[in-house]
Amino acid sequence: MKKIVMATCLLLASFSVVNGQSIVKGIVLDNDSKKPIKDVLVKIKNTSKNQFTDLNGNFIIRNFQNGKVILELKLVGYETQNIPIETSGQTLDLGSIFLFKEVIENQDLSLITLTDDELNDDASSADNISGLLQSSKDIFLRTAAYEFSSSFFKIKGLDSGNGKVLINGVEMNKVYDGRAQWGNWGGLNDVLRNQEFRNGLTPSDVTFGGLLGSTNMNTRASEQRPGIKIAYSSSNRSYQHRMMATYSSGMLKNNWAFTFSGSRRIGNEGFNDATSYNAYSFFTSIEKKLSDKSSINFTGIYTPNRRGKSSPNTQEVFDLKGIKYNDYWGFLNGKKKNSRIKEVSEPILMLNHYWNLSKKTAINASIAYQFGKIGNSRIDYNGGSNPSAAYYQNLASYFLRYDDFEGAYTAENNFKNDGQINWNRIFDANNTNKDSGLENAYVLYEDRNDDKQLTINSILNTEINENISINGKIEYKQLRSHNFASVIDLLGGEGYLDIDPFGANEEEKQNDLLNPNRIVKEGDEFKYNFNLNSTIIAAFTQAQFRYNKTDFYAALNVSSTTHQREGLYKNGSFSESSLGKSEAQKFMNYGFKTGVTYKFTGRHLVDLNVAYISAAPTIRNTFSNSRENNNVVLDLQSEKILSTDISYVFRSPIITSKVTAYYTSVKDATEISFYFADGVGGDNTAFVQEILHGINKKHLGLELGLEAQVTSTINLKGAAAIGQFTYDNNPNLYLTTEADTESLVAGFVNGFKDFGKTNLKNYKLAAGPQKAYSLGFEYRDPDYWLIGATLNFFSNTFIDVSPLNRSQNFYTDDDGLPFLEYDNEISKGLLEQEKFANYSVVNLIGGKSFIIKKYYISVFATVNNLLNKIYKSGGFEQGRNANYRQLLEDKSLDKPVFGNKYWYGRGATYFMNVSVSF
């Protein structure tokens, strides 16, 4: 029936009625009842021309551009129709257009169950990439979004920062690390549905994009679905309950349009122990139509949220406590209290002016301001012992290393029976110190960054003729970021001494020489205090050409980036390089991409894209230790990226398929890590900053998606990702630390030690499963219910290796010569990269929708990992055993003291949603 409707519309589009202006009209009917439908939004896509159908389902749109355009029809509870039409200054009567009721609102699944639930900053910052993909019709990308993302799968093995996220044409990726902070608009699913997704290198009208494409979320009030929607969700993933309500007026007769939305997400505990969730979301969009050619829209977004983190653990810990175990909490007054809370509160204010200069040219001018804070809490203990129950000296393996079997037995029983932070002991220690006139032994604090970011941009889209269009954008972005530590709770004490207890002398112990031995209270700043300032000026231009057989494009991007640190404390260990402004780091970057699509027939297409991009280092990778000094990474360079892909697409009435081959080369990347290392320059220890620079990476593979509509109700689908993501050279490695006696003994000169090359070439990148496969089906009943199931298989997931262990430090004794007992064959075994076991998971989906009078009711549920499969989703080698002698000794134990740390995937989880729209 749908094919007949589309064919009829296309046929009608070829007829003309003599008239002096471009007009399209028609009547919209319900496909089942054949009755007229009112309040359907009918619009010419990418223009301001739109109208709502009247009581009789009629619409008429006048005075729009001639040529090929897309007519879009939208109404809550119905599938959106996109009808290609062509006009030439005449009236086009489309007659009757039928809308089909939605069976299930699938888009709810992508944003509700994934964008919040799978976000896990602790797992190698595996930001959820599936939120970028929800609007795509590509079967592979939908599978990556719905099926693969919970296993921390990364498309093409790339970090989520390679995908650009925009709201109304304003880029939202963070300047600090390049990633989008999805929590800034979490819980606002209903008002973020209007999205334009561009996959990979394909062209976008609003941005040059990234290797993973771009998503532009349109929040214009006039383009939201008119009506009210109320929803309730229940889950055992991140939050337990969610309530959401949305109202949109549509464009009123007085040329105003309003949209308001709010939600509440809450949970005492997610899948992992003590991972509490507490979030509010508020949204408003107000649009004023100034004339037929222009309108102005204000968008306000405020989504304060707090969530408890979960810890990575060694296998010894998981074997004793299970995969839900979380090291970060303990009981306080009978309730679970998590010491690691992430709090995000960053409102977004945005003003957009939409101006159609002519029928073929439009400008979107924007100004956006985002401000607020991100805080990550933890316990500091400069006067006490490590409070973690999973600290290595509290576990059985530590005692077994010294053949202390009684101590090991006691430690294991203590950990099995409790194994959590002892908050009462912390309070007792602080109270005891207070009674003795001493400062706190412990304090709860948060690492804070308070950002203020201003973005101004203007986007031009113009159609030269029916075949050629030009896009352009200029952008100015300014970030002022204040970074510091702040006391949250004195935990029963009266004050905390602001020093570094590991400093070698009184001067080096001072976090701020300008305020030595300062006692801090709740709300005070301490430990470190500095500003990061960035300015980015960018412009891109793009030409797109569309013809019957061939489409092609070319785009150019130019940007100027400046980063600068301003120290507000004079650190005792870096007294010469911590206070004041650093030298400004300036980068000029370019990007070029081009692509062509050749249409052999309407069913067979080939798409080719290629890009060369230079990207400025993020602030995170510019300064080697920004908390303490102004030092810049040595030989800092922009990343150079070469990427290409080629796709073959086959479309028939039954089968839709696409296969893509890709290759990406990244050169001159930088990575910075912080950890406590044993065995640096022999048997010495130090807290170090590890700077790995000049990194080359290689990503290549195949992506395959296939969908078959075998009957009118049964749909079969399959997808495969076969990748290989590796280090492609031996990059440079050096360490920095405090310039004290201990570091001097370890071979550091002024807190610096160069280890030359580290042998990483051909080691696998820790990018989630490098191979993933999915096979599934959906049954959509004509009576508006749906069931579906998928079987997903994952393999080639690797641990994140330690670069220091692959450097000369691994085999060098403190005299600079190789260890006498060094054995090459044993060394190869010690340094072999751990490959996780293959695993498979089964996911289910089901639901039903109803229309009762004017109310549209949707009920659906998903179950992930139905069979409760236990699997490792990620992990890293600890840097504590930094040389051959110590690593061999540790790995020879039945239970290594400093074994690899892991994250496990969730077991069986569910998500259920009920919504009512009217």
| Rounded percentage of the chain residues whose pLDDT exceeds 90 | 70
* Cα–Cα distance for residue pair 168/185, rounded to 1 Å: 13
What H or E segment, with its residue span, contains residue 324? Answer: none
Whether residue 80 is predicted with pLDDT greater than 80 in this model: the reply is no
Instruction: Render pLDDT for 611-620 as a digit per residue (tens, 0 to 9).
Output: 999 999 999 9
**Cα distance between residue 328 and residue 317, in whole Å:** 13
Of 363, 295, 256, the closest CA to residue 49 belongs to 295
CA pair distance 880, 886, nearest whole angstrom: 9
Question: What does the pLDDT read at residue 105?
Answer: 43
Per-residue pLDDT band at 69 (split at 50, 70, 90): confident
107 pLDDT above the threshold of 60: no
Question: Where residue 21 falls among pLDDT bands split at 50, 70, 90?
Answer: low
Nearest Cα neighbor of 748 from 817, 680, 810 is 680
Does residue 511 contact residue 498 with C-beta atoms inside 8 Å? yes
Could you tell me what percent of the chain has a pLDDT over 70?
A: 92
458: which DSSP letter?
A: E
Residues 542 and 470 sit within 8 Å (Cβ to Cβ): yes
86, 402, 805, 830 from 880: Cα distances, Å: 67, 18, 10, 14
State the Cα–Cα distance between residues 833 and 881, nearest whole angstrom: 15
Range 450-459 average pLDDT: 97
Is 195 or 473 the better-scoring residue by pLDDT?
Answer: 473
Q: How far apart are CA 566 and CA 573, in angstroms?
A: 17
What pLDDT shows up at residue 137? 58
| Residues 152-159, mean pLDDT to the nearest whole number | 91
Question: Using CA atoms, how far apart are residues 346 and 342, in angstroms rounded to an integer?
Answer: 13
Q: Is 80 exceeded by the pLDDT of residue 830? A: yes
Tokens of 541: 């231009």
127: pLDDT strictly greater than 70: no
pLDDT for the residue numbered 6:
45
Separation CA 408–CA 413 (nearest Å): 9
Residue 893, SS3? coil
The answer on pLDDT for 8 being more than 70 is no
The Cα–Cα gap between 120 and 549 comes to: 45
- Comparing 159 with 448, the larger pLDDT belongs to 448
Strands 214-217 and 164-167: parallel
**Residue 801 CA, distance from chain mean position:** 23
pLDDT at 747: 80
Assign 745 a pLDDT band (cuts: 50, 70, 90).
confident
Closest CA to 275 of 321, 309, 316: 309
pLDDT of residue 282: 97
pLDDT above 80 for 33: no
Report CA-CA distances (Å) from 157 to 181, 186, 621: 20, 25, 20
Backbone phi, then psi, for 914, in 5-degree steps? -130, 130
Number of H helices, E strands in the chain: 10, 45
With contact defined as beta carbons under 8 Å apart, do 117 and 235 qualify? yes
Per-residue pLDDT band at 66 (split at 50, 70, 90): confident
**333-390: pLDDT as tens digits:** 999 999 999 999 999 999 999 999 998 999 999 999 999 999 999 999 998 899 999 9
CA dist 870 and 312 (Å) reads 15
- Least confident piece of the model among 66-75, 333-342, 408-417, 527-536: 66-75
CB distance 407 to 452 below 8 Å: no
For 232-282, the pLDDT digits (tens) are 999 998 899 999 999 999 999 999 999 999 999 999 998 999 999 999 999
Q: What is the pTM of this model?
A: 0.86
Q: Which of 633-642, 744-753, 764-773 has the lowest mean pLDDT?
A: 744-753
Report d(CA 260, CA 300) in Å as an integer. Answer: 10
| pLDDT band, very low/low/confident/very high, at 1 (cuts 50, 70, 90) | very low
Average pLDDT value over all residues in the chain: 89
Residue 748 confidence (pLDDT) above 90: no
The residue-averaged pLDDT of 554-573 equals 97
| Residue linked to tokens 């990207």 | 615
C-alpha to C-alpha distances, 574 to 508, 511, 512, 687, 739, nearest whole angstrom:
8, 10, 10, 15, 8
Nearest residue to 673 via CA among 652, 695, 657? 695
In this predicted structure, the answer to whether residue 123 has a pLDDT above a threshold of 50 is no
Task: Please give the Cα distance from 58 to 95 (Å, whole number).
Answer: 10
Highest-scoring range by mean pLDDT, 17-26, 143-152, 653-662: 653-662
Q: Range with the lowest mean pLDDT among 150-164, 165-179, 283-297, 559-573?
A: 150-164
DSSP 3-state assignment of 573? Answer: helix
Q: Average pLDDT for residues 88-109, to the nearest whole number?
A: 66
Inter-residue contact 834 to 799 (CB < 8 Å):
yes
